[in-house]
């Protein structure tokens, strides 16, 4: 985990984030720009497609199997994302969320989740307010500058290129839950 030190201003901050990783049992992710690279392919029949990373898929499945809570909170409309998340075992997927901070607070109350147990990853301005109500405010390496400034963890991976796996793997490793699970197919 020595590569983590490049992401933080100093050793004290590095140790503080490791302590925070150990307390995480709930992940909340945006979709476009986090689980995808932010690109949308508009097809001839006007359907839209996104590309997701299978390595992220493995990590999501493992986290679900280990009992972590996973919430997908996106401003985008319903799409194939629901099916992909269902295939990975993620049951809590929320579309067309305009006020993510209020939505995170609602989920905290509904599922009895404490602030110190939540990692939220977002990449754009609409995600920034949610950073105020979680323990770890994370973003991909290619997030907008305001989000990078507001984050307390910046992945060295870009959106759609493994940033989801990066944060899940770090948390699960800190908690002793990371490893091979032969029942997981990373290509789902």
On the question of pLDDT at 6 being above 80, the answer is: no
3-state secondary structure 148-182: HHHCCEECCCCCCCCHHHHHHHHHHHHCCCCCCCC
Q: Which pTM value belongs to this model?
A: 0.88
pLDDT in tens, 39-85: 877 878 877 778 888 899 999 999 999 999 999 999 887 678 888 89
Domain ranges of the chain: 25-174
pLDDT in tens, 89-141: 999 999 999 999 999 999 999 999 999 999 999 999 999 999 999 999 999 99
Q: Which fold has domain 25-174?
A: Rossmann fold (3.40.50)
């Amino acid at each position: 985990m020595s590569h983590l030190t490049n992401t933080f201003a100093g050793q004290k901050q590095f140790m503080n984030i490791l302590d925070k990783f150990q307390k995480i049992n709930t992940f909340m992710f945006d979709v476009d720009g986090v689980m995808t690279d932010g690109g949308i392919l508009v097809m001839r029949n006007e359907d839209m497609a996104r590309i997701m990373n299978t390595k992220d898929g493995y990590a999501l499945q493992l986290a679900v199997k280990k009992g972590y809570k996973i919430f997908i909170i996106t401003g985008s409309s319903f799409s194939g994302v629901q099916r992909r998340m269902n295939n990975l075992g993620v049951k809590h997927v929320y579309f067309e969320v305009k006020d993510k901070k209020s939505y995170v607070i609602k989920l905290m109350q509904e599922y009895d989740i404490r602030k110190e147990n939540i990692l939220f990853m977002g990449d754009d301005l609409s995600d920034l307010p949610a950073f105020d109500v979680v323990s770890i405010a994370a973003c991909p390496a290619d997030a907008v500058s305001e989000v990078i400034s507001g984050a307390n963890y910046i992945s060295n991976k870009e959106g759609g290129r493994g940033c989801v796996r990066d944060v899940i793997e770090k948390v699960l490793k800190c908690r002793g839950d990371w490893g091979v699970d032969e029942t997981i197919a990373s290509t789902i």
